[in-house]
Chain A
Amino acid sequence: MRSNEGVDRRAGSYHGRRRAMGLAFAWLCGLSTCVGIVALAVLLVDVTLDGAPRLSVDFLSSFASRFPDRAGVKAALAGSVWVVTLTAVIAFPLSVAAAIYLEEYAPKHWTTRAIQTNIANLAGVPSIVYGILGLALFVRALGLDRSVLSGALTLSLLIMPVIIMSAQEAIRAVPSTIRDAAYGLGATRWQVVRHQVIPMALPGILTGTILALSRALGETAPLIMVGAVGFVAFTPGGLSDQFTVLPLQIYSWVSRPQPEFQEIAAAGIIVLLSLLLTMNAAAIVLRNRYQARS
């Protein structure tokens, strides 16, 4: 009897330890999550407190100025919208085409594998390197100068690997049974891709694209390299115009000594974050809509 109790007690303490481990792990994970959320919340509150009083229609519709009261984000907002839109127009079709080629057409041998590995590596190259490439290639060699187009092309190179990889992922997720069914009905490869693969992969492709574009929206370094400047008193009217973008404008304000400009920078950050959150929300809405349909 006694020894039996001993066994039970040992077993009991063992179970107790396992339970405690499980609880501790859950708490640890919960705490880690909190660190991220709390940091984000503090940032948002801080920025909002600093910047909200400065936010107004005037702030959105005024150009940058030496005088804090007259400074606004018009040029930077327009520049960001220009650059990101143009980047989307350039990068999206190229990346999706590349992904479709790699998944549906390319023969699977070592060249394709080498290209694949390269794309994965390119996604990890620091953005400043793309800036230097953009400066040498687009600004100088192609003579595009410090223009919206140079900036958009540079950012396109930067985000293409990301879009290609997420598009490949989405295309690979289309079941092969669907492809078989379509081929079995006498569809050509193009028809299979056009009518089955792309529609099914589209939500995933769009989500990946929008997330990549959000990254492009927040980029500063490569755009400094291709000549975006911190002080622009006009909105771009064409592809060859000079431009600035929100992150750059914010950086230029933050680096000024006057405290008023810190508040203006905070207001600029609110504008940038709103733009980012809108894009991410669009990604979620798009995905849900397409998923509900199929």
Chain B
Amino acid sequence: MATVYGIGSSGAAPALEAKAVSVSYGDATAVRDVSLTVPANRVVALIGPSGCGKSTLLRCFNRMNDLVPNARVAGRVDFHGRDLYDHGVDPVEVRRRIGMVFQKPNPFPKSIFDNVAFGPRVNGFHGDLDGVVEASLRQSALWDEVSDRLGDSAYALSGGQQQRLCIARTLAVKPEVVLMDEPASSLDPIATQRIEELIYQLKERYTIVIVTHNMQQAARISDYTAFLYMGELVEYGPTETIFTNPREERTEAYVTGRFG
């Protein structure tokens, strides 16, 4: 078992535990023997230079890698004590409980309402759909901007609004964990700030794992930070420690901007 630095004293129950996870695409290994624990109701940031495997690792947490031809995942990811990659675990159910927000806003070419309602609908939700849509849009701080035009195309929204719509869409299926793959990288600074505020509010109810290449962002919003380099987990610990007093030289070099 690889050591997990600095976690355990926080008292939060683990939401996800990666144990010796490796991912390869064909012959190329993208993630090598990574073990880390994501505590519940915390924000964990994955940082590292481009191609370090942080997005690939993120996609292990809800089995999105299953959709990539010739991707192979070794090791285990425990969620409520059960390996997500166990035989008999339905990846569709995994993705319902562990939601994902992508790098570029990717709303469906449908109305705002239908975007948010899609998740509940495909998961067989019968009940107050209007209520779910409103609650989700309120949680993603978009409701006030769109409440009078839910029937409009989602494409009519600005980039930042679209991304908050995508977050609302993810929240609508009531996941326990929300994975975010550089959710603000294509947004302007103001839209980025709104997303960050949103993440801060969301951690009360959700566990969040966020990939970011923006170190200030990681420092601002996360409780724990993992630094990956060339597919390996170099260091993982409380964000403050990683940014002010890292134990690995490579981590220090990266967070101070000397490489990457």
Q: A108–B67 Cα gap in the complex (Å)?
A: 12
Interface string of B81-104 (1 = CB under 8 A from A): 000000000001101110110101
Chain A residue numbers with a CB within 8 Å of B75 are none
Chain A residue numbers with a CB within 8 Å of B123 are 185-186
**Distance to closest chain B CB from A281 (angstroms):** 25
| Chain A 200-236 interface residues, beta-carbon cutoff 8 Å to B | 200
**Distance to closest chain A CB from B94 (angstroms):** 8
Q: Assess the B122–A188 pair: CB atoms within 8 A.
A: yes
Q: Assess the A200–B109 pair: CB atoms within 8 A.
A: yes
Q: Any chain A CB within 8 A of the CB of B169?
A: yes
Q: Assess the A185–B96 pair: CB atoms within 8 A.
A: yes
Q: Assess the B104–A186 pair: CB atoms within 8 A.
A: no
Interface string of A183-200 (1 = CB under 8 A from B): 111111001000110011
Q: Any chain B CB within 8 A of the CB of A181?
A: yes
- Which stretch (A6-14, A53-61, A115-123, A172-180) binds chain B? A172-180
Q: Any chain A CB within 8 A of the CB of B173?
A: yes
Q: A187–B108 Cα gap in the complex (Å)?
A: 13
**Distance to closest chain A CB from B1 (angstroms):** 30
Name the contact of A183 in the complex, choosing from B95, B97, B108, B166 (C-beta under 8 A). B95
Name the contact of A177 in the complex, choosing from B69, B95, B99, B106 (C-beta under 8 A). B106
With A108-B69, A185-B118 known as contacts, the answer to whether A175 contacts B106 (CB < 8 A) is: yes
Chain B residue numbers with a CB within 8 Å of A191 are 122
Q: A200–B170 Cα gap in the complex (Å)?
A: 21
Q: Assess the A187–B106 pair: CB atoms within 8 A.
A: no
With A108-B69, A195-B118 known as contacts, the answer to whether A184 contacts B95 (CB < 8 A) is: yes
Chain A residue numbers with a CB within 8 Å of B173 are 185-186
Chain A residue numbers with a CB within 8 Å of B95 are 183-186
Q: Assess the A185–B119 pair: CB atoms within 8 A.
A: yes
The residue among B95, B109, B122, B173 with the most chain A CB atoms within 10 A of its own CB is B122
**Distance to closest chain B CB from A123 (angstroms):** 26
Chain B residue numbers with a CB within 8 Å of A107 are 69
Name the contact of A187 in the complex, choosing from B92, B97, B109, B170 (C-beta under 8 A). B92
Chain B residue numbers with a CB within 8 Å of A108 are 69
Q: Assess the B122–A178 pair: CB atoms within 8 A.
A: no
Chain A residue numbers with a CB within 8 Å of B118 are 182, 185, 187, 195
Name the contact of A178 in the complex, choosing from B99, B106, B119 (C-beta under 8 A). B106
Q: Any chain B CB within 8 A of the CB of A294?
A: yes
Name the contact of A186 in the complex, choosing from B96, B107, B108, B166 (C-beta under 8 A). B96
Name the contact of B122 in the complex, choosing from A177, A180, A187, A199 (C-beta under 8 A). A187
Q: Any chain A CB within 8 A of the CB of B64?
A: yes
Interface string of A140-179 (1 = CB under 8 A from B): 0000000000000000000000000000000000010111
The residue of chain B having its C-beta at the shortest distance from the C-beta of A199 within the complex is: B109
Q: Assess the B119–A180 pair: CB atoms within 8 A.
A: no
**Inter-chain pairs besides A180-B67, A181-B166, A185-B123, 19 sampled, C-beta below 8 Å:** A175-B106, A177-B102, A177-B104, A178-B106, A178-B108, A178-B109, A180-B100, A180-B102, A184-B95, A184-B100, A185-B99, A185-B118, A185-B122, A185-B169, A185-B173, A186-B96, A186-B119, A187-B122, A200-B109
Interface set of B (CB-CB < 8 Å, partner A): 62, 64, 67, 69, 92-93, 95-97, 99-100, 102, 104, 106-109, 118-119, 122-123, 153, 155, 166, 169-170, 173
Chain A to chain B contacts (Cβ below 8 Å), 27 pairs: A107-B69, A108-B69, A177-B102, A177-B106, A178-B106, A178-B108, A178-B109, A180-B64, A180-B100, A180-B102, A181-B108, A181-B169, A182-B118, A183-B95, A184-B64, A184-B99, A184-B102, A184-B170, A185-B96, A185-B118, A185-B119, A185-B170, A186-B95, A186-B96, A187-B92, A199-B109, A294-B109
**5 closest A-B pairs (Cβ-Cβ)?**
A186-B96, A294-B109, A185-B119, A184-B100, A177-B106
